[in-house]
Structure 1
């Protein structure tokens, strides 16, 4: 028991270490996102510097000047910048930086068309459209990097889980897998993360437009306006970069949780442990300490809260498979389930006779294989109450031979041994066996409720404690494991 407890304690410690690694990776990715926003800020400030002086009259920025028609030269300059953005999008695709999950070119093209139309109205719209170009360029880089990151986070977690659960990955070609694409681009509340990224870029663009318009309306010295705009642009962009960071963390946690729950279910585990992240909120700590009858933070796999649906954005908690003593911890597959039902129904006598005689057909060997696998997943009987077993014999000789098997003080049967939590023989049996200190008996009473059956695996060895005749005159033997 101590060895098993140490394993699960170590498993939890390793999961917390993994959480710390994810938080570190989040911080590293935030730095990359910030680089894109910093580049946008530099370009926006440059565009402001280039345009602000041309909007001045008598050393003051004029809104009337901002409403004037755009020159042919300005249009040509803008179109050159727009072509660079398109070329950058094409370069990202050519490098394979855009994975096959979502094509952001529609997002880029739609915005470029809108800006191309708007910038022709007046010089103020030209400046706003140039800012739009910076937002589009940042957006497509962020979208591409985030798609790549989320896809990798998902496949990396599938691989990590396969190592933990000793389950080989079925398909190493994760990158183009439709299942991975489905996970990465899954809609949450009606939108994919990519759509949220572009919506955030649009909101940022709208706020920057307001900042620019208000700055020009002040009518101050162009140098003063440019300086004030630089500060406001930086603050506005920074606030929206937090939204992008939150999307990145939340989506990463979502696909990693999906990989965890899928892998754990695939390997048949019925219980999971909720492991709160190092800086978990009160709600997540409550989830981690809630006792559902199996111990703190342990849930049936179909009842565990989902990340982030049942938690919150930025949640970095995780789950791991776990084991609950006295419970069926692993689900049976169809063949195992069929083998167990077949044993319980009518085939127990035949297969046990064949096992004792050593004449097992190839078909029955497969049946035994699946039954063994099913028993391995069933909970061990842990109650202190002794188990009961009744024997019936065809004749006196058969009964005598059975007793003689225990001459050396031990009994071992090459067959399965069916026992019960109750005494169902009602005094009609020829030999009654009481089994104490069960260690390997598997509780299958959920499948055989009438007899409250506990089934011992093949070749289980029992120590013969004593023989006596009970009040009904029936020979009674006490075994213990």
Structure 2
């Protein structure tokens, strides 16, 4: 294996570690959002139960039928504020508007609407975190690839959007996230019915609520990490196609630690054609939480690479020819052992 190949593989492992840290930072943000959402759910259940239990001279079965005008008015104001938040996606605002309608006098329905609003707001905030992370992941990947191959690729915003919102399987990540929201909302509404119709104390649901909190974080975490790997693979392919060409080859690089999956170990160091590169088939992610990556395969493509680049980049005078020659001389020196990259890294 050449020094250049070793260098790229080392760069790939460094990139994997860097991206793992980026993931961890976003997961921490998701954990905070979910913790606040779950706390608001429990607090709301407790508040409604408390109003029923403390109603003087009124049985809780009768009290639940009394519409608290103050609660309705406050909920309508809260729903309006959420709907007017310009930072949320169209899908999030569509969900929120469902709760910005005429309120029912039935206290059980009002409670379910209020809880639904809390859940939807929480998922809208999670969507924002994932969306930004995926866009940033594409940008970082393109910059990383430019550092490896020494050629920039100018990508239009529409291309980035297409990468971020591409389907992986039958759905894109946003659709999967909102499907998860539907499941949590149904569970919370069931708890509300038990509190309002059967007079059960919200404390009885604490173990289940904690379980839902862990499950929600786990689902969003898996989605965030897996989709980040996917968009980075898509960005790598785009860069490969624009620089080394569809007939060039790339090498699968597994994340090397004690948790490396069997499938990634199997594909580690295997070589494929760029034109055949497909996430989940012969490129990351190969499984949920996959953090493997790819690098250009060291072969006979370099002469063709530099030759094809001639005339493509707009430089002044003879600077273009000089730059290409300098690059070729450098890679030849690296391959021959005259220059050792390991002295600097």
Q: TM-score range by the shorter chain?
A: 0.7 to 0.9
1:268 partnered with 2:253: no
Deviation at 1:229, TM superposition (A): 2.9
Query: What is the aligned counterpart of 1:214 among 147, 169, 194?
Result: 194
What's the CA shift string for 1:429-458, capped at 9, x where partnerless? xxxxxxxxxxxxxxxxxxxxxxxxxxxxxx
Deviation at 1:109, TM superposition (A): 3.3
Query: What is the aligned counterpart of 1:301 among 265, 269, 274?
Result: 274
2:226 and 2:289 in contact (8 A); partners too = yes
Aligned runs of 1:313-392 on 2, under 5 Å?
313-324=288-299, 328-329=300-301
Deviation at 1:32, TM superposition (A): 0.3
Check 1:112–1:208 CA distance in 2 against 1; reply closer, same or farther (3 A cut). same
Deviation at 1:309, TM superposition (A): 7.7
TM-score, structure 2 as length reference: 0.77
Deviation at 1:106, TM superposition (A): 4.3
TM-score, structure 1 as length reference: 0.57
What's the CA shift string for 1:101-156, capped at 9, x where partnerless? xxx23432344325745x51521221121111111221221112221111111011
1:200 partnered with 2:186: no
Query: What number of residue pairs does the alignment pair up?
Result: 305
What's the CA shift string for 1:191-226, capped at 9, x where partnerless? 322222222112111111123323555545xxxx13
Q: For residue 109 of structure 1, what is the aligned residue in structure 2?
A: 94
Check 1:234–1:115 CA distance in 2 against 1; reply closer, same or farther (3 A cut). farther
1:45 partnered with 2:39: no
Check 1:318–1:310 CA distance in 2 against 1; reply closer, same or farther (3 A cut). closer
Deviation at 1:68, TM superposition (A): 2.0
Deviation at 1:246, TM superposition (A): 1.1
- Residue 98 of structure 2 aligns to a residue whose secondary structure is helix
Question: d(CA) in 1 for partners of 2:210 and 2:181?
Answer: 14
2:65 and 2:107 in contact (8 A); partners too = yes
Check 1:310–1:238 CA distance in 2 against 1; reply closer, same or farther (3 A cut). closer
1:149 partnered with 2:124: no
- Residue 2 of structure 2 aligns to a residue whose secondary structure is helix
Check 1:234–1:63 CA distance in 2 against 1; reply closer, same or farther (3 A cut). farther
1:211 and 1:233 in contact (8 A); partners too = no
Aligned runs of 1:8-407 on 2, under 5 Å?
8-56=5-53, 64-65=61-62, 68=65, 70-87=67-84, 89-90=85-86, 92=87, 104-114=89-99, 116=101, 120=104, 122-170=106-154, 177-216=157-196, 219-220=199-200, 225-268=201-244, 270-278=248-256, 279-288=259-268, 296-304=269-277, 306-307=279-280, 311-324=286-299, 328-329=300-301
Deviation at 1:167, TM superposition (A): 0.2
Deviation at 1:285, TM superposition (A): 1.0
Check 1:159–1:310 CA distance in 2 against 1; reply closer, same or farther (3 A cut). closer
- The structure that has the greater radius of gyration is 1
1:34 and 1:241 in contact (8 A); partners too = yes
Check 1:309–1:138 CA distance in 2 against 1; reply closer, same or farther (3 A cut). same
2:45 and 2:195 in contact (8 A); partners too = no
Question: d(CA) in 2 for partners of 1:205 and 1:80?
Answer: 21
Question: d(CA) in 2 for partners of 1:205 and 1:36?
Answer: 16
Q: For residue 313 of structure 2, what is the aligned residue in structure 1?
A: none
Deviation at 1:72, TM superposition (A): 2.7
Mark the runs of 5 or more structure 2 residues left unpaired by the alignment: 309-320, 329-345
Deviation at 1:251, TM superposition (A): 1.3
- Residue 319 of structure 1 aligns to a residue whose secondary structure is strand
**What is the root-mean-square deviation of aligned Cα atoms in Å?**
3.2
1:162 and 1:169 in contact (8 A); partners too = yes
Deviation at 1:317, TM superposition (A): 0.8
Question: d(CA) in 1 for partners of 2:59 and 2:291?
Answer: 50
- Residue 280 of structure 1 aligns to a residue whose secondary structure is coil
Check 1:265–1:230 CA distance in 2 against 1; reply closer, same or farther (3 A cut). same
Deviation at 1:332, TM superposition (A): 5.9
Higher helix share: 2
Higher strand share: 1
1:63 and 1:219 in contact (8 A); partners too = yes
Mark the runs of 5 or more structure 1 residues left unpaired by the alignment: 93-97, 99-103, 289-295, 337-368, 377-481
- Residue 294 of structure 2 aligns to a residue whose secondary structure is strand
